[in-house]
Amino acid sequence: MPEESTASRWRTTPLTAWHEAAGARMGEFGGFWMPILYEGILEEHRRVRAAVGMFDVSHMAEFLVEGDGADALVDRLVTNWPSRLEDGQALYTPMCRQDGGTQDDLLVYRRGANRYLLVTNAGNRDEDRGWIESVAAQRPDRPAVRDVSDEVALIAVQGPSAVAAVESLAHGPVADIGYYHFREGVSVADVPALVSRTGYTGEDGFELYVAATDAPALWAALARHGVKPVGLGARDTLRLEARLPLYGHELARDVSPLEAALGSFVKWEKPGGFIGREALAAQRAAGPARRLVGLEAVGGIPRAGYAVTRAGAAGEGVVTSGTHSPTLEVPIAMALVPRAWGVKVGDAVSVAVRGRPVPAKVVKLPFYRRPS
């Protein structure tokens, strides 16, 4: 028997064949065989900052939550306040376990009263589905939860020229869609889409949810209109510059939203509370043991997992994400450090880069903010 190929071990998206034919460097991410880069991370990163690029993010998981009690269920599941949204509005939110650790972070789209679309991380799909279904099963109204991940593809078009690029292919206006709002039933290149003014790059743009079978046609149309593909390598450097968390790095089952500096997405006043509220309230009262900070290093690139120390201070921190910033042209990182250090912007720390101490300083987050 021939040996199984590396790619065949992982899930694919409706666009995998296109990526491979285009010569993308492929790799595993979140259980999927995904394009890491096409021409180079630096070039692709700068393209998005300066103009426009498109990403295949069809590996993300999508769940429909509908029926009587869906408002209350989604409010219970997450720390933010989805039922307070207007129809056609979205929000970002952590989703916690009872101990305050983060099950996942996600986008919630309110499609109508008791009608929601939840978009979670690919690597957590199976566990998220089980978690959401288990919470739904505890409710007397038992709203329906349906995993539609295999039916949906997601293409993100990001950058200063993204709105113009999508509007040129849309039948009807899309530029008037507000930030963190969406419109359903829009035709983009003759493909029906849910058009969402959201993204994961720190730039303006849209995320286009379409039927999986329609994704190749939409991708090809965008390519014909000069929108070039961008891989997950540049997606990571873009989101890091913008201080956007990545599950498994800044957030995890043993990292709370309060430790990850996401307290603004925890709505303490929400009627009925949310799962993990009691644990988070106790953590808030005592003060989280760790806090997320931004670092700028000199003489080496901090990477996830590298130790962070401070002269004269007890304990040790850890880099959650790090890279050489293509925009700032310096090594940057986010790190969880002991709250007891009391660090502030400008303070010096040290990062163990391959066993060698490298000086770094605490800097304000985000590293990059797009021009207004």
Instruction: Answer whether residue 200 shows pLDDT above 70.
Output: yes
**Model-level pTM?**
0.96
Average pLDDT over residues 221-247: 98
For the chain, give the mean pLDDT. 96
From the DSSP assignment, how many helices (H) and strands (E) are in the chain? 8, 20
pLDDT at site 36: 98
Task: Give the C-alpha separation, 339 to 324, whole Å.
Answer: 26
Q: What pLDDT, in 10s, does the model give residues 78-94? A: 999 999 999 999 999 99
Residue percentage of the chain with pLDDT more than 90 = 97
pLDDT level of residue 338 (50, 70, 90 thresholds): very high
pLDDT at site 92: 98
Rg (the chain; Cα; Å): 21
DSSP 220-237: HHHHHTTPEE--HHHHHH
H or E segment and range at residue 11: none
Question: Which has the closest alpha carbon to 82: 103, 62, 112, 60?
Answer: 112
Q: What pLDDT, in 10s, does the model give residues 22-69? A: 999 999 999 999 999 999 999 999 999 999 999 999 999 999 999 999
Average pLDDT over residues 220-233: 98
Q: What pLDDT, in 10s, does the model give residues 126-142? A: 999 999 999 999 999 99
Whether residue 245 is preceded by a cis peptide bond, meaning omega within 30 degrees of 0, is no
Residue percentage of the chain with pLDDT more than 70 = 98
pLDDT at site 2: 41
Task: Give the C-alpha separation, 88 to 267, whole Å.
Answer: 21
Beta strand spans in the chain (E): 25-29, 32-37, 53-56, 61-66, 89-96, 102-112, 115-120, 144-147, 152-158, 170-171, 182-188, 191-196, 205-211, 228-229, 290-297, 307-309, 317-324, 331-338, 348-353, 356-363
Task: Give the C-alpha separation, 168 to 339, whole Å.
Answer: 49
Task: Give the C-alpha separation, 123 to 60, whole Å.
Answer: 8
Question: Which has the closest alpha carbon to 294: 340, 328, 332?
Answer: 332
Instruction: Answer whether residue 281 shows pLDDT above 80.
Output: yes
Place of tokens 């000199």: 298
pLDDT at site 8: 73
pLDDT level of residue 372 (50, 70, 90 thresholds): confident
Instruction: List CB contacts of 337: < 8 A, sequence separation 6 or more.
Output: 290, 291, 293, 308, 310, 317, 343, 349
Average pLDDT over residues 210-214: 98
> Helix or strand or coil: residue 183?
strand
pLDDT at site 7: 60
**Could you give all domains of the chain from N- to C-terminal order, each with its CATH number?**
7-57+151-241 (3.30.1360.120), 289-372 (2.40.30.110)
pLDDT level of residue 205 (50, 70, 90 thresholds): very high
Q: What pLDDT, in 10s, does the model give residues 102-125? A: 999 999 999 999 999 999 999 999
Instruction: Answer whether residue 308 shows pLDDT above 50.
Output: yes
